Amino acid sequence: MNGVSYAGAGVSVVSGLTLTEWGIVVGIITALLTFAANIIYQHRRDRRERNLAELQERLIYRDVAREVEQ
């Protein structure tokens, strides 16, 4: 029965919103989704850059080791 009460309250709140208020809600949701997407992208970019730096470091050490052997 509690679920029905909460659902009824949610429906009454949603039906009471004006078009301007809906615009605000959509704007907030869009901003939050953009923020989340940006965080995910930054994390992936940082991981790619770290992997690239590690690869470059390994290649440099490999080249130095070859020069020392010669």
Query: Tens digits of per-residue pLDDT, 9-67?
Result: 888 888 888 989 989 999 999 999 999 999 999 999 999 999 999 999 999 888 888 88
Give, in degrees to the nearest 5, the angle at Cα 16 between 15 and 20: 105
Q: How many residues does the chain have?
A: 70
Positive or negative: CA dihedral 64, 68, 69, 70: positive
Number of structural domains, the chain?
A: 1
Q: Is 70 helix (H, G, I), strand (E, B) or coil?
A: coil
Residues spanned by the domain of 59 = 19-69
| In-domain check, residue 58 | yes
| In-domain check, residue 12 | no
| In-domain check, residue 47 | yes
**Beta strand ranges found along the chain (DSSP E):** none
Q: Which amino acid is at 40?
A: I
Contact 17, 25 (CB under 8 A): yes
The first and second tokens of residue 28, run together, are 């907030």
| In-domain check, residue 2 | no
**pTM here?**
0.62
